[in-house]
Amino acid sequence: MSIEKNTRELDRDIVRDFSARMSYASYLQLPTLLSAQQPVSAPVHHDELLFIIQHQTTELWLKLVLHELRSAAAWLRIDDLGSALKAIARVKHIQKTLTEQWSVLATLTPTEYSQFRSFLGNSSGFQSSQYRAVEFLLGNKNAKMLPVFESDPEAHAMLQEILEAPSIYDEFLGYLKRQGFDVPAALLERDVTQAHEFSADLVPVFKYIYENAADNWGAYEACEELVDLEDNFQLWRFRHLRTVQRTIGMKSGTGGSSGAAFLQKALELTFFPELFAVRTEIGQ
């Protein structure tokens, strides 16, 4: 009885010679990407690679989140709601991936982390310009954050640009006004370099949209997409807090922040407060 080999033959037309062709590795610049993990502990600690890859992959996903949110804001500006919602839907999936990633880092025990933490110096996730840019795009503007990035002109310029541009919420409110909704003029003329503050006068606008969803389906769907976006962001913040607490307890952060206490305060921040406040008013 013959025994089949546990292998498969390659299809005849599979390309094998890449001496003059673009390959998978060259397209993705894998030699550059895979050489970017450079542990600094001495001797090199086994778990530092996990720590580096966790944060590098987060930055890659944040790059895509920024790409999608900036595009969504631009599409809202020209009243292309469908394209904007498609971009936001993609961001929501990325957010789920980012949140789930914390479970990988959470396998790093306090003892393991303490053995290479001192080698990190003052480097900290607090210094992530892309994370800060996402917060700015969603409306949590804070010019006091900019000095942290003065030593990185490119990052500083990006944050300055986003600080001075309307947030995605500002663009959505402008879209609603152009569609005939009674958005308060003060919100459309506000200083966009400041964080959005709750406006009681905006709540009736959303109440009307929610209670007449069938006639305002696009606006209604957009409201719910933004609520999903904030919910996902808060879940990410919470998982970040819990991962920090289980890894370093209440120690200060490497970048000088108060650590878990600082992250706890971030849970009090909101992007779209009226979209949550309106839920109390619906049906009354």
- pLDDT value at position 199? 97
CA distances (Å), origin 80, targets 23, 174, 203, 236, 269: 37, 12, 24, 28, 29
Domain contains 170: yes
- pLDDT value at position 249? 87
Q: Does 179 count as an annotated binding residue?
A: no
CB atoms within 10 A of CB 15: 7
Q: Does 156 count as an annotated binding residue?
A: no
Pick from 249, 279, 227: nearest CA to 110: 249
Domain contains 134: yes
Domain contains 32: no
Q: Does 208 count as an annotated binding residue?
A: no
Residue 141 burial (10 A CB sphere; 0-12, 13-18, 19+): buried
- pLDDT value at position 4? 65
Pick from 189, 191, 192, 187: nearest CA to 205: 187
Pick from 112, 273, 111: nearest CA to 206: 273
Domain contains 248: yes
Structure tokens at 182: 């009674």
Q: Does 169 count as an annotated binding residue?
A: no
Q: Does 198 count as an annotated binding residue?
A: no
Structural domain count, the chain: 1
Q: What domain range is 64 assigned to?
A: 48-280
- pLDDT value at position 248? 83
Domain contains 14: no
For residues 243 and 108, what is the distance between their CA atoms, to the nearest angstrom?
9
Q: Does 234 count as an annotated binding residue?
A: no
Structure tokens at 27: 């397209």
pTM (whole model) above 0.85: yes
Residues 6+ apart with CB under 8 A from 25: 31
Q: Does 209 count as an annotated binding residue?
A: no
Structure tokens at 163: 């600080």
* 136, 162 Cβ separation under 8 angstroms: yes
By three-state DSSP, how is residue 43 classified? coil
- pLDDT value at position 80? 98
- CB-based contacts of 59-62 (< 8 A; 24+ apart in sequence): 59/128, 59/130, 61/94, 61/97, 61/98, 62/98, 62/128, 62/130, 62/131, 62/133, 62/134
Residue type (1 letter), 225: E
Domain contains 5: no
For residues 244 and 251, what is the distance between their CA atoms, to the nearest angstrom?
9
Q: Does 37 count as an annotated binding residue?
A: no
Domain contains 83: yes
Rounded to the nearest 5 percent, the helix, strand and coil shares of the chain are: 65, 0, 35
Domain contains 98: yes
Each of the 284 residues of the chain gets a pLDDT tens digit; together they read 556 678 888 888 888 889 999 999 999 999 999 999 999 999 999 999 999 999 999 999 999 999 999 999 999 999 999 999 999 999 999 999 999 999 999 999 999 999 999 999 888 888 899 999 999 999 999 999 999 999 999 999 999 999 999 999 999 999 999 999 999 999 999 999 999 999 999 999 999 999 999 999 999 999 999 999 999 999 999 999 999 999 888 888 787 777 888 888 888 889 999 999 999 999 87
CB atoms within 10 A of CB 213: 13
- For residue 112, give the CATH number of its domain: 1.20.58.480
Q: Does 117 count as an annotated binding residue?
A: yes
